[in-house]
Structure 1
Amino acid sequence: MTRSSTDEAPTPPLPSPKERRRLREAKSLSEAQVAAAVGVTRATVRSWETGRTSPRGRKRTLYARLIASGPPQKAKATGTAPELTAPPQPDASPEPDTQPEPLPSPEPVTSQPSGAPAEPDEAAEAADADADADADETVKATGASAEEPEEPVEPEEPSGPSPAEAFDELYGRCAPALVRQTYLMTGRRALARESVERAFQLAWHRWPEVAVDRDPAGWVRAAAYEYAMSPWHRLRGAHRHPDAPPTEPGRRALFDALLDLPPAYRRTLLLYDGVGLDLPETAAETEASTPATAGRLMTARAAVAERVPELAGNGSPDGQSALLHDRLGGLARAEHVPVPSPARAVRTGSDKKAALWTRAAIAGCVLLIGVTGLTLHTAPTHYEQPLSPAEQVGGVPPRGGPQKLTAQDLELQKSLREQVAHGPERLVPQIG
């Protein structure tokens, strides 16, 4: 049966990707020469030799002939690739009227017009070439290609501040005011400073979480308030009693009114009227509903208004809020609140504390493992019943029992055993 010239030619087999590169290097061909001969880019040839893609159609035939043919001719001085000679065709016996078409010779790569449709294999190779070109650029940037050394890529400078710089900026902006706010919450200067530094140490320990928070200052403020209002501080002698109140009568009345409020009401009043948060934000930070926060705020204002006559004379809620804001700010600025430690000292303390807790956890695990191993080594493998020590027992009555049988008793016993009774006779004793 004859094969028409329009039938599809069989796809030539290709060796493995590593073998393709070995054959190319054995013929002293560079990737650029193979790319120019086949009509593709150098990145595509590299992709064929790494196994990411494989040639198709006419390019597969040309590539297979190139790496399977004999030693190539030397390229001209113009840098063009050597011409490929078609290998001899195997002997075949076609009919006289049907001759096989000669394989096309490699053509130079020309750009198609924008309106002309590309062949399927050309479009696929173009897509592969684009993807491989990106991979080739990546390889060049990393310095993995030793064939053409590229200039070292200088590392780009970071666009934003470092974590330490961002933390120091937040600390310098919020720490002094937060110490004064915490002093109004607790009435204790040393505890206010300790609470703020402890909150910033915790923030540095969890900096990846705090840095992406919507309000980093609010995160630190909430941590400082939680630590400052902990009831366990009552067990510490230094923080058992509040510091001396202000000497000025108006400020002292406001100070005493704040400390007499329950902690939740005091915190709500300070956040809303002192810091200036709105009602939903105050409710979110105090972990309460908005109606409950509004009720706490009104109750706290009423309790403070009993101590501060100016607040009671102002019936407008906005006026009361503005007046409380001014009075609380003046009270916090008038007191000699200690300055917090430098930001670097806070970061160093946080790192040291984290390292200490890590070592303590490791030491605890090692101790637990050691105690468990010692217990397994020394514990008995089976239960051994303890032996009770011998002791003398007194006051036990002598051993007793039935009386010794007399001769009459023995004779009666013998008579009963020898005679078999079948009825009432057994009930009548026979005494001989």
Structure 2
Amino acid sequence: MSELFDAVDALVSSRSTLPPPAERKRLRQAHGLTLDEVAAALQVRRATVSGWEAGKTEPRPPERDAYARLLKQLAQLYPANVPVPSGDTAVPGTPAVPAVSAPSVAEPAKARTEPADRIPEPVSEDTALRPAAVPYPVTTTRPTSRRPPARKTVPVGSPAGGVDTRFENGPLAVVDVDADGQVRAYCVGGLVLGVPAKSIAALVEWTLSEGRLGQPKLSGPGKDGDPLLVLTEAALEHYGLPVTLTKEERLAGRIPESHKVIKQLTRANWQLTKRGFGPWARIYRPAQGSERACVQLCIPSWDALDTRHWANTGQLPPADLARLLGTYAARVMTPRGSTAVTGLELMTALHPPTRASEPDETGKRHSEHNPGSLGKEPVDCAPCEAPDGHPLLADLPRFHHRTPAEVLVEEAYDWARPLTDAECLRPHLVGIDVNMAFAAGANGLTVGLGAPTHVKNPVFDAKLPGSWLVDLSHVDLSRVKVAKDKWAELDGSLLPSPFTPKGERPAGPAWYATPTVAYAVELGYDVTPIEAYVRHDNGRYLDGWYNRLRDAYLATMADLGVGADLAPEEFLAAMDGYRQRDPQLAVVVSAIKATVKGGIGKLRERPRGEGWKPGQPWRALARPTWRPDIRAAVISRTRINMHRKIVKHAAFTGQYPVAILSDCAVYASDGPSPLDFLPYRDGKPLPGGFKLGVNPGLVKHEGTQSVLWGEGVRERFNAPELNLARYIKDGTVTDVDSGE
């Protein structure tokens, strides 16, 4: 009988009485609700609610019943023909608008003429209390003049702490269309601009002439950041673009050249880069002197914002999306593509390949190499540094498997071992994770800037970056030097080798990056390289990159309540649930981390499609930033940093890790907290060992599971050396360890 009742209820719900479309809109606006708020409550798209209010579509169950319920309650609060409060009288459900959109936003210049298309944005109480993303001036008053202002030109060297009025509206804007069909550009700091453009070509023109969007250069010889426009689904529909890509378009990464929007751009003399009109499209005209005319588009519904790093950012309301991306842009840089692409672009922005020379005898300046940069032209890697399929290896037999003596393999750890009997008697497995491990590995690292020099029988030099063919199989981890003239006796069988990603002891000569060989010397062992590819032109190319990403990470974590100078107990407490304090800022943290890892990975980008065949060059090889040797050096140093801490910890406590995955190490422990096995004395950690804290290179609590869980997982998959570090965070194991 209950099934019949359910069927009747469903039938009634399918015909729930709804007011006319115009009344639906009136009721929503009377209560001060936005389309985004209603859409979020009903779990539908913003455009869907807009369609209901316009009468273009009608809701269907189960949303129809919930929508009818909402409108019925609003109708009771705001009967028809009853005037809605206005002026200084607050509308129920709508908080007062503060004088500025965020507490730390700079005041606009008093003499500045406000543009006629600035629109004050209602700010929710929650948003108003959040930290400001960037110090750009905003206004909350509607100007009376409808005449657009003249664009101001400001010298590049604007005063420190001042605002570059060329970019006074911030680095980016989220372009959306409201229920009335009006195009709005949501900028950082709560600013909303009216957009008159009727086409994508006109939108680009407006952005460059009146939008005042962009970002000042990050380095003296560099270039200003191009403005970024993020197009919502409503904006895509408005400008004649598909809301989603077809399967063929996703595979191609672009819409076809025959699309009407591309033809419109061509007629307006705009060009697209080689990657075409895809999720991250760049629309430009050739530069006139030093003036650039370029706008970047980001299209979330085309998967521009990878959910692995950006979570559900693409689903946010326009103002929140502008705030989140604006925070990232201010602290890292305006996104130029994926987090990996942005990580690589940040390296170039901080170390531009060229600079202006000193004036010659005629007073003219010329472009010259910028010292400390990678230059404008790519350099060949060493054969041992080349990945499989590289043109340098074209003469190798087709199915030849290169040995360690032929190829440099510097990768992150993926190592595990069975638990000892003593470890099985402990109740807990505790994982600790190194913060920003690859960033810490890049900090202060000397890397090659130019091409390698091949040397036979070289004398090892720890200060010289390069790749070395050397036999390290004689290094015995049962006896290692842990300080000057101080040796430690260890159980080497419980430690991974520092020289291989899988922790296996090398069997003979192999290629290693400089930090790996230097660590063998540090452990107290002699090394005799057979040959090497070294780089005499070198420098600390990644220092500025590390500093900016470190500062971005620490500033965002501080906004989330995790400071840099907390005591161990306070740090663990602050980290507990920090993501829930502001989910949007937590996404910024994830994106910053992905920028680090992705940027390092891009240094050895492999071919993707492109009709590539082994032995042929691929597109990435034409970049000066295609540098597998730099990637290898960073990963080498990151792995060595982890091993050094493990050895110090083992020598002092007698405790050894049971699993390591990249920057996460798992220990058997008598208690569930890292403080139950990390040695602290009077609040101070073991010198050279693991230290709890938020700074890059310090560690946080990754997760705790029981020893019984670990042994059960390994038994279930019949894998005694399953890497438990992969699953320690939440204990969920979905498939057997693939090792990938």
TM-score under structure 2 length normalisation: 0.15
Larger Rg: 1
| Richer in strand (by share) | 2
| Richer in helix (by share) | 1
